[in-house]
Amino acid sequence: MLAGPHKSWMHALVTASAIVQDAKYAENYIRKLLRARPGRTATVHLGSGLPSLLTIVDTNGVLELTIKCDADRTIRLTIYHKSLKTVVVPFSLEFTYNPSQNLTPIHGSKQRDDESVRKLCIDTWVANAGVPTVFEDVVDSNTVVKSSLTITEEHSRGFCESVGNQAWQYTFARDGILQAPMEYAHIVFTRDMLRLLQSSVFGFGQVNGVHMYNDVTLEDGARMFQVDDELAVTATMNGLTNLRPGKKIKLNWIVERDGKKVATIESAFLVRSHYIDIGNAFERYPQQLITIMLPSAADIAALELNEWFIYCEDTAATLKPNTPI
């Protein structure tokens, strides 16, 4: 019904099987946006007998989507996305209508679409902050991102309720202390994680990302989180490389409490069909210090026979038994 009986940009937008993006063909995803859904109302506005504007509202009468075509045959699609704070964030895409090309009259730009998606993610990140804030881009892969969070009773109870965690230690205070789940190690870095995934270093492909894993290592002897704990997080990028399906980014987080490390977290994301320029790819391998102790002079002599072993730069220094190295 939306296509109409006459040839027009609306007819092409609804009936075309593909959209030309630069030198490639992409599936016409606009048809999925326009398919009929219960409660939605679509209104087509006419000008000179042909469609000039399409609006779609939801069951509450709130505007969801608009599509219009300018005089220069530029089609502008705008989706009114709601953030977690119910702030409306517009998401716009542009296409060109070429009626002379019967099979593929709708043309777009993958670069422009990727830029629009990244802008949507950044605008949503700012809207979800709840307070006036500015998105600080990360343009250097060596950048260290720091943040902090104080665990409150309201936040802890709300989190446990949302995930269905009814453990008694998170509901009832014992000896005046209310514990909080160790999942706060994830909560505290979520905002900075999204910031890094929307940065210039990461590039495009936000909606094509797949969360591969979280590897959490708790420090020996670290006590459970408690209400009023102040957590500090230091985040770094450990790698941005290309795989066959797409690019992979590894993020590393160190969670501290009272100046002492509580946990180390490594997260990895795969972004399908998007790749990083080989000149910008990198991967870091944190070196783990290993301490050994040689108990006898014979063991020391066997080690010193290797040409690659140098005890220290001072050639006069000698290695003695039971000295840690």
What local confidence, expressed as pLDDT, does residue 246 receive? 97
143 has a pLDDT exceeding 90: yes
Q: What is the pLDDT of residue 48?
A: 86
Residue pointed to by tokens 């099979």:
103
Helices (H), the chain: 9-15, 30-33, 110-127, 153-163, 184-197, 297-304
Is the pLDDT confidence value at 127 over 70?
Answer: yes
Query: Residue 12: its pLDDT value, please?
Result: 93
Model confidence at 314, pLDDT cuts 50, 70, 90, reads low
Q: What ranges make up the beta strands (E) of 155-281?
A: 179-180, 209-218, 225-226, 230-242, 246-257, 260-272
Question: What is the spatial distance between Cα 301 and Cα 239, in angstroms, rounded to a whole number?
Answer: 40
List, for residues 298-312, the tens digit of each pLDDT value.
888 888 888 777 776
Residue 315: pLDDT band with limits 50, 70, 90: low
User: Stretch 170-184: mean pLDDT, rounded?
Assistant: 82
Distance CA 153, CA 101 (A): 62
pLDDT reading at 313 higher than 80 = no
Query: What are the backbone dihedrals phi and psi of residue 97, each rounded to the nearest 5 degrees, phi first?
Result: -95, 115
Over residues 270-292, the pLDDT tens digits come to 999 999 999 999 998 876 677 78
Averaged pLDDT, 184-198:
88
Residue 316 pLDDT greater than 70, yes or no: no
Helix axes 184-197, 110-127, angle to 10 degrees: 140
Task: Evaluate if residue 197 carries a pLDDT over 80.
Answer: yes
CA–CA dist 203, 212 (Å, integer): 18
Predicted local distance difference test score (pLDDT) of residue 132: 67
Residue 105: pLDDT band (50, 70, 90) is: very high
pLDDT in tens, 165-174: 777 778 777 7
pLDDT recorded at residue 266: 93
Average pLDDT, the chain: 89
Question: What integer pLDDT is reported at residue 305 of this predicted model?
Answer: 84
- Residue 176 or 275, more confident: 275
What pLDDT is recorded for position 231?
A: 93
Q: What is the pLDDT of residue 196?
A: 95
> Cα dist. 210→26, 218, 233, 259, 269 in Å?
21, 25, 23, 33, 6
Contacts of 53 (CB under 8 A, 6+ apart): 44, 45, 66, 67, 68
- pLDDT at residue 146 greater than cutoff 80: yes
More confident residue, 126 or 314: 126
Picking from 203, 209, 205, 159, the residue whose alpha carbon sits closest to that of residue 179 is: 159
Quote the pLDDT of residue 68.
95
SS3 assignment, position 157 = helix
pLDDT at 23: 87
Residue by residue, DSSP assigns 114-139 as: HHHHHHHHHHHHHHTTSS--------
Q: Find the range with the poorest average confidence among 46-50, 59-63, 74-78, 229-233.
A: 46-50
| Number of helices (H), then strands (E), in the chain | 6, 16
- What's the average model confidence in pLDDT over 215-244? 92
Nearest Cα to 273, choosing from 251, 250, 248? 248
